Structure 1
Amino acid sequence: MSHDASIITRTPKLGRAVRIGLALAVIATIAGVSVRAYDYHHVVAWTHAQVTPSVQLVTPESGHGLQAMTLPGHLDAWISAPIHARVSGYLKSWSRDIGSQVAAGQSLAEIDTPELDQQFEQAKASLVRAQANARLAVLTDKRWKNLLASNSVSKQEADEKAGEAEAAQANVLGAQADVDRIAALEAFKHITAPFAGTVTARSTDIGDLISANNESSPALFTVSDTTRMRLYVEVPQGYADAIRPDMSVQLDVPDHPGEQFTGHLIGNSGAVNQASGSLLAQFEVDNPRGELLPGAYAEVHLPMAANNHTLTVPATTLIFRAQGPQVAVVDAHNKVVLRNVHIAMDLGDRLRIDKGLQAGDRVINHPSDSLAQGDAVQIALADDDAGKAE
């Protein structure tokens, strides 16, 4: 009886241990499944985040006040005269070189013209001969008129002598004109400055053969007045209305970094060049210190009134595809919406859009080429926001 009783008393203890072991096994199994489920969802979320592209957003800015558009321009001297020879010969000497300041009428060079000198002497001799013939013809005319009064000669003969006297006087006038013409050419032996300015080119030297009748011959000198400059700007047709009377522009030149000059509108061509599609505008720029050089390149800042109906976005937001210019906008569900836009003005690093965007739109900056309509995206934090999140 005692042996059976001991067996009966140990059986409940063994059953309790089994139940506890089973419970622990079930708890361990549930915990393992939960951990695996958590890891699975974490991996799925991480994979989804890696697949969904991250984008940076910008907000369009409204136009206000005056804005400037930068256009290329070039500078020319206010007056620039290439000086050619009017007489043929050899260059005898020159007295002014490039960079020299000259006054109006100041001599630049002298041409040796032996042939012209001989023609001048011949013309003066012809004048003397014509004057002598004229004096003789006048005396003869007087004598024949006296003879006619006494009926010693006929009226016909007297009229002939009178005509010869008039012809001799005309020959004197012709000879005098020829002398004056050659004397004027003799004056062209001295090449002079037509106005006060700077010698910007000298294309001859002592001993050079000078030909006055060769149209292809280069200019001997070039004199330019650079106290004022002419600034020429090609304005695209779409912005031609920005050219207004009495307007002023600011310009920069590469050889004077950080310094700006002011130009005042003189006028415009009044017509659009069909080849370039632009309107030529001309400005006057004061240059009292000679800092601006003829032929120089300039960046011209053309003021333009802002349009309240336009929005400004960075040029890096633009997408070029077969549909034309587009931008990618993110909607409230973080889905991509492609918008067709119209560029009212290209400012280089910025674009002014007058169709296709609204104030407050979230525009993707630097969109990828593979971005498509309806793609899900995630918004990348800006640098300052990322710092706060950390």
Structure 2
Amino acid sequence: MTTTRTPSLGRAVRIGLGLALLATIAGISVRAYDYRRVVQWTDAQVTPSVQLIVPEAAHGQQSMTLPGHLDAWISAPIHARVSGYLKSWSRDIGSQVAAGQSLAEIDTPELDQQFEQAKASLARAQANARLAALTDKRWKNLLASNSVSKQEADEKAGEAEVAQANVLGAQAEVDRIAALEAFKHIAAPFAGTLTARNTDIGDLISANGEGSAALFTVSDTTRMRLYVEVPQGYADAIRPDMSVQLDVPDHPGVRFTGHLIGNSGAVNPASGSLLAQFEVDNPKGELLPGAYAEVHLPMAADQHTLTVPATTLIFRAQGPQVAVVGADRRIVLRDVHIAMDLGDRLRIDQGLKPGDRVVNHPSDSLAQGDTVQIARADGDGASRAE
């Protein structure tokens, strides 16, 4: 007797087809899910993520940092007035000297000989003057007795006057060389610090040599002069009786105060800046001549300006711009006018409004109308896109 298995075979085929269909549907679903994830990831990569800042309104007293340099209150380079060889020096750099104190001595053999010759010439002129005076007196007595003519007596009187004039000339020459002899001793013109010594024993000294270095330099550093180049746009910040704070690299964390002495009253056409001069007390000698200083210039706040970081600025052919994100997350490029450059911050008086969302660190490829996603900072400081 034959058994028929056709129904069982048909059921197995149907089950197999069902399983295949389910596997196909599952594969298509997985691929569709992966495709959506790829599309979302691609869109996220194409849409740039930006960080936003809100402009700050100006308030209170602000300051602008400018470079400045310090000079001694008085600084005198000392040159030689006589030629010779340096015989000795008694003060070195860093020494405190008093007014009139000797710094060095110059050996001047030629000048010494000229001095002796001038004194000898004076003695000869004085002797000739005495002889001429006696001769004049005798001839006047002879004229009284009509022993000589008046012409001859007048000639002797003239010779006596010439001899006396020669005495005055010889005396002036002696005084001149005596004054030069005093310059053999180099003295400090005022009390201060010896900041330079450019000579040594045995050096040949040339008097008033053009281009020759000063033998010594004496500086009064109890007070300092601070010079600051203020850009023309901020020249109105220089006001009478104003004070500034300054920092120097060799004294970190220490603030010094300078008081305005005056300004140049004109803008330098080469630099476009106004030179301002301040006085800084230096009783402890902490500030050094020629030193660099960072000067904090006080500025009155302008209520019509907004402050943004300098990292928000975009420089293109159109001029300075910033990127603002609208409510639809699209970029709007705005032309701005910089009222004041404070280094790491900018004061903008045109192109921004309070509450604008400004892109910080904009990329070079950012363009008008681009759609962006806004990055927010999490508690750990990492940025997340919204």
Taking a change above 3 Å as real, the CA distance of residues 283 and 179 of structure 1, as seen in their structure-2 partners, is: same
Q: Residue 119 of structure 1 aligns with which residue?
A: 114
Larger Rg: 1
Q: Residue 107 of structure 1 aligns with which residue?
A: 102
Question: Whole-Å Cα distance in 2 between the matches of residues 213 and 360 of structure 1?
Answer: 69
Q: Does 1:160 pair with 2:168?
A: no
Question: Whole-Å Cα distance in 2 between the matches of residues 280 and 309 of structure 1?
Answer: 28
Residues 241-280 of structure 1 correspond to what in structure 2 (within 5 A)?
A: 241-280=236-275
Q: Does 1:281 pair with 2:281?
A: no
Q: Letter of the aligned partner of 1:128 in structure 2?
A: A
Residue 377 of structure 1 is aligned with which of 350, 372, 378?
372
Question: Whole-Å Cα distance in 2 between the matches of residues 347 and 295 of structure 1?
Answer: 25
Counting matched residue pairs gives: 363
Q: How much identity, in percent, do the aligned residues show?
A: 85
What displacement does 1:247 show? 0.9
Q: Residue 210 of structure 1 aligns with which residue?
A: 205
What displacement does 1:74 show? 0.7
What displacement does 1:37 show? 11
Question: Whole-Å Cα distance in 2 between the matches of residues 204 and 34 of structure 1?
Answer: 95
* Unaligned residue ranges in structure 2 (runs of 5+): 1-14
Q: Letter of the aligned partner of 1:242 in structure 2?
A: A
TM-score scaled by length of structure 2: 0.88
Residue 235 of structure 1 is aligned with which of 214, 230, 233?
230
Q: Residue 368 of structure 1 aligns with which residue?
A: 363
What displacement does 1:345 show? 1.2
Question: Whole-Å Cα distance in 1 between the matches of residues 209 and 182 of structure 2?
Answer: 20
Question: Whole-Å Cα distance in 2 between the matches of residues 42 and 234 of structure 1?
Answer: 59
Q: Residue 339 of structure 1 aligns with which residue?
A: 334
Q: Residue 350 of structure 2 aligns with which residue?
A: 355
What displacement does 1:44 show? 5.0
Question: Whole-Å Cα distance in 2 between the matches of residues 370 and 355 of structure 1?
Answer: 24
Question: Whole-Å Cα distance in 2 between the matches of residues 243 and 191 of structure 1?
Answer: 42
Q: Which region of structure 1 is more displaced relative to structure 2, 39-48 or 350-359?
A: 39-48
Q: Secondary structure at the match of 1:309?
A: coil
Q: Letter of the aligned partner of 2:266 in structure 1?
A: A
* Unaligned residue ranges in structure 1 (runs of 5+): 1-20
CA contact (8 A) 2:79 2:208 kept: no
What displacement does 1:85 show? 0.7
Question: Whole-Å Cα distance in 2 between the matches of residues 386 and 229 of structure 1?
Answer: 46
Q: Letter of the aligned partner of 2:307 in structure 1?
A: T
What per-residue deviation string (whole Å, max 9, x for no partner) do you get for residues 311-333 of structure 1? 00111111111111110101121
TM-score scaled by length of structure 1: 0.88
Q: Residue 15 of structure 1 aligns with which residue?
A: none
Q: Residue 294 of structure 1 aligns with which residue?
A: 289
What displacement does 1:51 show? 3.0
What displacement does 1:36 show? 7.7
Residue 68 of structure 1 is aligned with which of 63, 66, 74?
63
Question: Whole-Å Cα distance in 1 between the matches of residues 341 and 203 of structure 2?
Answer: 54
Residue 188 of structure 1 is aligned with which of 183, 187, 200?
183
Q: Letter of the aligned partner of 1:87 in structure 2?
A: V
What displacement does 1:50 show? 3.9
What per-residue deviation string (whole Å, max 9, x for no partner) do you get for residues 286-309 of structure 1? 111110001111111111111111
Question: Whole-Å Cα distance in 2 between the matches of residues 160 and 207 of structure 1?
Answer: 55
Q: Does 1:174 pair with 2:169?
A: yes
What per-residue deviation string (whole Å, max 9, x for no partner) do you get for residues 117-161 of structure 1? 111111111111111111111111111111111211111111111
Question: Whole-Å Cα distance in 2 between the matches of residues 240 and 359 of structure 1?
Answer: 27
Question: Whole-Å Cα distance in 2 between the matches of residues 285 and 68 of structure 1?
Answer: 19
